[in-house]
Amino acid sequence: MKKSLLTLASVIMLSTVLSACSSSNKDNNASSSAAAGNAAESLLTEPGTYPITKEKVTLKVMVRGNPIVEDLATNEFTKWYEEKTNVHIEWEVVPEQSMQEKLNLVLASGDYPDVLLGMNVSPAQEMIYGTEGVFLPLNDLIEKQGTQTKKLFSDRPEIKNAITAPGGNIYSLPEVNECYHCVYSQKMWIYEPWLQKLNLQMPTTTDEFYNVLKAFKTQDPNGNGKADEIPLSISPKSWRSSIDAFLMNSFVYNPMYGTTKHLFVQDGKMDVSFNKPEWKEGLKFMNKLYSEGLLAPESFTQDDNQLMQLGENPETVILGASTGGHQGVFTQLLGESGRWNEYKTVPVLKGPAGIQYAPADATPLTTGSFLITNKAKNPEIALRWADGLYEYEHTLRSNYGRPGEEWREATEGEIGINGEPAKWSELKSFGEIQNVNWAQTGPSLRSHDFRLSAVSKGDDDLEVILYNETKNNYLPYKAANIQTVPPLFMTNEQATEVADLSKTINDYVDEMLARFVIGDANIDKEWDTYVKTLESMNIKQLINVYQVAYDAQNK
């Protein structure tokens, strides 16, 4: 599953302190780095070969903790990669829940390691600390030592463009994870046996969806003689599961990706979804569902555990439909009951005006996955070490484990998830606590082709299910001239302004969405006041700041 970017608010924390202390050290850092670089070159082997260095070298690496990795220091992949590269890692593991605070503190203090790994440093942070000289530009290092990175850029120039800051500097390497179903993760799931029991077709319009939910509520589809069915219930705290993530896209383009939710680019112009007349119509539809008891009141407050209890109700099925990137949002994935596999995706519903959008994640990669700081004595070695993680076998080992134990090469005749000849097969399920791989920490190259070339395990294979559901019900509704906002590089001033404006505006939008849908606020009577309030919160300036940053990145 994709990992989210840092909040923009964290970008600016303690940056003033950093600015004050960095300028006086910049020249000294530059000269010491140059001297260290000359020494490192004598240790390096030819680019693209192993080991990387003739003598063992130690890198100090700060890394985000991973709950399913026991110990990076003793990890099987860590040991294997050290033996191959001749690079020893001295780890500083930061708990995931305090990662943002720790990152800002160490950067501001000046007491930071050679490398930041898997810390998901945002583009705005890269701009702030890169221009201050804390993060080293990687351009020359890549050109001289980045065998795999140069190949990636050649094959996929859009990835290079996405990580290149205005002015041309590249400060980080990304984790590329083109999760096919994650790109279109704003999905709706419905319990198919109830459709069959009531002789109903899969809904294709908002009106048909309303009628299906009405039948679920009134016609006892679970057959227990009780009116205990819950037609639609969601958790606003799960992955892509908020009430507007799916339903609002039958009225207006409404992406929910990263820190730029509700923002989109149409024909090169930045805009938002939540002040449009179409948003108002979407609110009316959702209010209709709520007022008739088709949308559970808990949908604005319950967490994923509470929703899971509904989805896995032990006596009988009571949940008709829910939203989320996969069935595990509301049922137990691969659970013994098999209930998870009886929920099927609802295709993008056609709204009253004929609108059908499946918002796509603009950039299926995690930026800021690997950065070299000005403390690094051997930046060339550090770049070579990270560059190697993009290799095919290294990606398999770092993300899955040991050949022959956690994965294997495909045999002749085996078919991949995409229906093409397979290249590899996963032997153990991802997600269990282990100490043989890094579990999606740091750079790797899992392209669409890589992921979909895994051996298909049949119709019960979760990846196969998510691939087919996405291909059939969401990909066809990708917008032609509208796109989700990509990660944007911002100056310190831009990041500060956006953080303040976004917090105020998005909090208000979320509050009023709930009030309008519940009926606490009258949509027709209070809509104009709602729009004027957004204007008073300076929504035009928010859009303008994003537009300036977008234009600078797309010259």
pLDDT band of 365, cuts 50, 70, 90 = confident
Higher pLDDT, 532 or 25: 532
CB 133 within 8 A of CB 98: no
Report the run of H or E that residue 173 belongs to, with start and end: strand 173-177
Residue 88 has pLDDT above 60, yes or no: yes
Residue partners of 187: CB distance under 8 A and separation at least 6: 240, 246, 323, 324, 325, 326, 345, 346, 469, 470, 473, 474
Count of Cβ atoms closer than 10 Å to residue 449 Cβ: 12
CB 243 within 8 A of CB 249: no
Relative to beta strand 173-177, strand 445-446 is parallel
22-31, 484-493, 546-555: lowest mean pLDDT where? Answer: 22-31
Residue 417 has pLDDT above 50, yes or no: yes
Helices (H), 236-340: 243-247, 277-291, 304-311
Residue 20 has pLDDT above 80, yes or no: no
Residue 81 has pLDDT above 90, yes or no: yes
CATH number 3.40.190.10 given to 14-177+365-399: yes
Going from the C-alpha of 173 to that of each of 40, 286, 447, the distances in angstroms are: 21, 42, 15
178-187, 327-336, 494-503: lowest mean pLDDT where? Answer: 327-336
Side chain identity at 259, as an amino acid letter?
Answer: T
Nearest to 266 by CA among 480, 478, 531, 476: 480
CB 364 within 8 A of CB 174: no
CB 446 within 8 A of CB 405: no
Give 493-518 pLDDT, tens digit per residue.
998 899 899 999 999 999 999 999 99
Q: Which pLDDT score, from 0 to 100, does residue 40 have?
A: 60
Residue 200 token pair: 């109903």
Give 272-307 pLDDT, tens digit per residue.
999 999 999 999 999 999 999 999 999 999 988 899
* CATH class of the domain comprising 188-359+485-553: alpha beta
Domain boundaries along the sequence of the chain? 14-177+365-399, 188-359+485-553
CB 417 within 8 A of CB 464: yes
pLDDT band of 32, cuts 50, 70, 90 = very low
pLDDT band of 13, cuts 50, 70, 90 = very low
CB 446 within 8 A of CB 399: yes
Three-state DSSP at 211 gives: helix
Helical pair 379-387 and 15-43, crossing angle rounded to 10 deg: 90
Residue 439 token pair: 């579990």
Residue where the block lists tokens 């299906």:
212
Q: Rounded mean pLDDT of the chain? A: 91
Side chain identity at 119, as an amino acid letter?
Answer: M
Distance (Å, rounded) from C-alpha 330 to C-alpha 336? 15
pLDDT band of 39, cuts 50, 70, 90 = low
pTM: 0.84
Q: Which residues of 35-61 are buried (b: 16+ CB within 10 A; e: fewer)?
A: ebbeebeebbeebbeebbbeeebebbb
Phi, psi (degrees; rounded to nearest 5) at 366: -100, 115
pLDDT band of 1, cuts 50, 70, 90 = very low
- Per cent of the chain over pLDDT 90 is 78
Residue 342 has pLDDT above 50, yes or no: yes
CATH topology agreement for domains 14-177+365-399 and 188-359+485-553: yes
Residue 53 token pair: 């260095």
Distance (Å, rounded) from C-alpha 351 to C-alpha 489? 35
Mean local confidence (pLDDT), 85-97: 95
Residue 191 token pair: 């319990």
pLDDT band of 96, cuts 50, 70, 90 = confident
Residue 432 has pLDDT above 90, yes or no: no
Give 435-455 pLDDT, tens digit per residue.
999 999 999 999 999 999 999
Ordered DSSP codes for 498-514: HHHHHHHHHHHHHHHHH
